[in-house]
Amino acid sequence: MAVPEHESRPDTVADLPLVTEPATVTEVVSMDRDRREEARAAIARDLEAAGLDGEYPFDADPSTWDDLRDALMCDGHHDLAQQVDALFARCTRPRPMLVRASFAVDDEFDYLAGQYVGFKYNGTSRAYSLASSPTQDELELCVRRVPDGRLSPQICNDLEPGDDVCVRGPYGELVLDEPSTNDMVFLATGTGVAPLKGMIQCAFDTGQDVFEGVERDVWLFLGCAWEDDLPYREFFRDLDAEHENFHFVPCLSREPYLTDWDGETDYVQHALLKHVDADTITRTDEFVHEWVSREPDSDIEARIDPRATDVYACGVSAMVFSLTDVVERIGVPDDCIEAEGFG
């Protein structure tokens, strides 16, 4: 299926006016943290485990770890070199890398959960999905720093409470379908979860997780490299603890380099397939069969029936295309798939 990208489409949600509103920033919070000491300890630990402690002295300054990486690679310790390379990149990136920003508009701003806005700060505009739900009093964005980006470095470095900004919108068709007997599956990587967070929060706030007295299973598969790159991780973990029908599945590809993470490390689409009920798939292929046959790295007992599931996906366009391709291949009907891409 084609994956729509962020663009101005004011006519797609007929009843919502397109407006421009001044707003005031009320809160800016960094969601990632300084993990340099964790990384240094992890490298020392794994060098010792490999019997190489003392052979490769390294400085506490992460900017020098590329020398350690090169030495390990040269001597044939490829796995360790790969780990050091990942930690070098992680610990030399700018901070904060991920922020959430809340702001209050001067007048009422109507939107649907999942939509996006044009956000203007210091004369520069950019499209960002709203991470808030219409059930909240304020609007909220989730922004990841893009190196040499047009606006994200300013937001991460300079935005603070009291700043004046401007929002224009709402735009977009990535919104919740009418409640039904179908379960809901949300798929994202990184800040692609922003509109899905608003949709999930709205669903639970308004009782859309229940249809005709029966709970609908609500799933979120969220992929990132590191645990603290997961936007709104505490919100989703709390929701998981509060609601038996909400299942949060983080997929962390590099977190095992730092911690004893024992959850999913595969791509989001692979983790999704591992949680599908194999008996419900009406058509399959070798790729699907391989992953559906694997045991998931979670303790979730519920399983997904593709024939009775609404799927929502958001993120970088190429990734969203891969996700929608997989859900189509396992039999999710086209009219039950909503997707939006960016970048």
| Alpha-helical runs (H) found in the chain | 36-49, 65-74, 78-91, 152-158, 193-205, 233-242, 268-274, 286-292, 317-329
Q: Which own/partner pairs from 77-84 qualify as long-range (CB within 8 Å, at least 24 positions apart)? A: 77/50, 77/52, 80/46, 80/47, 80/50, 80/52, 83/42, 83/43, 83/46, 83/257, 84/43
285 three-state secondary structure: coil
pLDDT at position 13 over 80? no
Q: What is the mean pLDDT of the chain?
A: 93
pLDDT at 15: 60
Q: Name the percent of the chain lying above pLDDT 70.
A: 95
pLDDT at 284: 76
pLDDT at 282: 77
Confidence band for 144, pLDDT divided at 50, 70 and 90: very high
Q: Tell me the mean pLDDT in the region 159-170.
A: 97
Q: Tell me the mean pLDDT in the region 296-322.
A: 95
d(CA 53, CA 280): 51
pLDDT at position 127 over 90? yes
pLDDT at 12: 40
Structural domains present in the chain: 36-91 (no CATH), 183-342 (3.40.50.80)
d(CA 324, CA 316): 12
pLDDT: which is higher, 188 or 10: 188
pLDDT at position 16 over 80? no
pLDDT at 80: 96
pLDDT at 66: 94
pLDDT at 3: 52
User: What is the β-pairing status of strands 246-252 and 218-224?
Assistant: parallel
pLDDT at position 254 over 80? yes
pTM, two decimals, is 0.93
281 three-state secondary structure: coil
Q: What is the CA radius of gyration of the chain?
A: 21
Q: What is the DSSP letter of 5?
A: B
Confidence band for 258, pLDDT divided at 50, 70 and 90: very high
Q: Tell me the mean pLDDT in the region 109-120.
A: 96
Lowest average pLDDT, out of 50-59, 125-134, 290-299, goes to 50-59
d(CA 318, CA 144): 18
Confirm if 82 and 67 have CB atoms less than 8 A apart.
Answer: no
pLDDT at position 9 over 70? no
Closest CA to 268 of 311, 216, 332, 331: 311
Confidence band for 223, pLDDT divided at 50, 70 and 90: very high
Confidence band for 2, pLDDT divided at 50, 70 and 90: low
d(CA 205, CA 239): 11
d(CA 80, CA 77): 6
17 three-state secondary structure: coil
d(CA 71, CA 85): 11
Confirm if 8 and 329 have CB atoms less than 8 A apart.
Answer: no
CA distances 331 to 58, 176, 261, 327, Å, are 52, 20, 32, 7
Q: Report pLDDT digits (tens) over 91-113.
A: 999 999 999 999 999 888 999 99
Closest CA to 155 of 268, 299, 27: 27
Q: Report pLDDT digits (tens) over 33-86.
A: 999 999 999 999 999 999 998 899 888 899 999 999 999 999 999 999 999 999
pLDDT at 1: 55
Q: What is the DSSP letter of 245?
A: T
Q: Tell me the mean pLDDT in the region 292-303.
A: 96
